[in-house]
Structure 1
Amino acid sequence: MTLDGFCDHTAGLPDAEIHQHYTELLAQGDMILYGRTTYQLMEFWRTLLANPSEEKSMNDVARAIDKIEKRVFSRTMKTVDWASATLAQQDLHEEVLALKQQPGRAIFVGSRSLIIQLLQLELIDEFQLCLYPVVAGSGLPLFENLNDRMMFNLVNHKTFTGGALLLYYQPKNE
């Protein structure tokens, strides 16, 4: 996320340290949830598996993303062809409730649209927001179309040498 609140994967400049963080984070989870648009954007990482980058940290992220199970929420897609991906069989609320009942490790949410919906459904246990020291000026705001006040506790943070901050928030019960 940019300083002015926009979600834009092209606005920040992730470096090797940030790539390493996300490689390690993905290894700690069982699954990542995507909407159709983000899933299709993430297919970029598959190209690095076939044609590795000169930057090792990017190749590491590609392997981590390839390995973690992906659940895709889409009304238009009928199939997915990534071996570690499946289409959701239920609506978001039912699917996430069922997933949360299963034993295992973290379930990550990788799509802005799903984050907004899960906030409205009160199904977010923790936010990990990576704040880049960039003002984008325009784009998609992360917290769009939310009408109710929501409070969070800062439970941890990490500062990257390039100036990005990773902020860990958990919902506060009002």
Structure 2
Amino acid sequence: MRKIIAAFNMTLDGFCDHTSGLPDEEIHQHYTELLGQGDAILYGRITFELMEFWRTVLKNPSEDKSINEFATAIDKIPKIVFSRTIENTEWESATIAKRDLRNEVIELKQQSGNDIFIGSRSLIIQLLNLNLIDEFQLCIFPVVVGNGLPLFDNIKERITFKLNKTKTLKKGAVILYYQPIKG
């Protein structure tokens, strides 16, 4: 049975807007390695459209090797997009989900293979409320931004977590590996 893993970046004050983080070479390397260990990543429409930026990096590579390697990893991993408005995608490694989120994720979990990642805040919230997330990998950037998009919003009930592991990066970001405690 595969795990569903929410791997996401956030600031010290809990915001996850993509412009709030401090990505560097080590962060890109971390996520490149992580994506290489998974079988798919789940996106909502908005995040999927933001991630299409990486296709431009493939066409016009950066001078930063870690950025180019991340672009290759994000291009390679299969993407399942949950959208009511997108009917098809030009990205070869992306498909539009045919079923609702709950049923799609339950089926993915029951298959053999590697882990499935969640790459959209909206899907994290929905799947957390459905009790379908097996692990959180939260990369906390050492920055306070004061406002933005909170990662945990509209949670239906209290959820407790067990800290399984931490990873500290050279520039102060910390990755916390949490497991929701099923009650």
Q: TM-score, normalised by structure 1?
A: 0.98
**Residue 81 (structure 1) aligns with:** 90
Cα contact 2:129–2:156 (8 A) shared by 1: no
Deviations 1:87-138 (A, max 9, x none): 0000000000011111100100000000000000000000000000111111
Partner of 1:123: 132
Q: Secondary structure at the match of 1:168?
A: strand
Residue 94 (structure 1) aligned with residue 106 (structure 2): no
CA distance in 2, matches of 1:58, 1:151: 35
1:155 paired with 2:164, answer yes
Q: Which one-letter code corresponds to 2:155 in the other structure?
A: L
Q: Which one has more relative contact order, counting CA pairs under 8 Å at least 6 apart?
A: 2
1:147, 1:2 → 2: CA distance? 23
**DSSP 3-state at the match of 1:9:** coil
User: How many residues matched?
Assistant: 174
Shift of 1:9: 1.7
Stretches of structure 1 lacking an aligned partner (at least 5 in a row): none
Q: Distance in 2 between matches of 1:33 and 1:49?
A: 21
2-11 vs 116-125, which moves further: 2-11
Separation in structure 1 between the aligned mates of residue 182 and residue 154 of structure 2, nearest angstrom: 21
AA aligned opposite 1:32: I
Aligned partner (choices 47, 51, 65) of residue 60 of structure 2: 51
SS in 2 for 1:40: helix
Q: 2:142 aligns to what?
A: 133
Instruction: Name the aligned partner's letter for residue 74 of structure 1.
Output: S
1:13 is paired with a residue of what secondary structure? coil
- Spell out structure 1 runs of 4+ moving beyond 6 A: none
Report the CA distance between 1:13 and its aligned residue. Answer: 1.3
The question of 1:103 aligning with 2:112 is answered yes
* 1:96 partner amino acid: V
Question: What is the Cα deviation at residue 53 of structure 1?
Answer: 0.3
Match of 1:63 among 64, 72, 75: 72
Matched, 1:166 2:175: yes
Counterpart of 2:109, as a letter, is: K
Find the residue that maps to 2:11 and give its secondary structure.
Answer: coil
CA distance in structure 1 between the aligned counterparts of 2:85 and 2:147, rounded to whole angstroms: 28
Which amino acid in structure 1 is aligned with residue 166 of structure 2?
H
Cα distance in 2 for residues equivalent to 1:141 and 1:30:
27
Deviations 1:46-76 (A, max 9, x none): 0000000010000000000000000000011
For 1:41 and 1:173, how far apart are their aligned partners in 2?
A: 32
Structure 2 partner of 1:22: 31
Q: Would you say the 8 A contact 2:163–2:179 is kept in 1?
A: yes
Q: CA deviation at 1:172?
A: 1.1
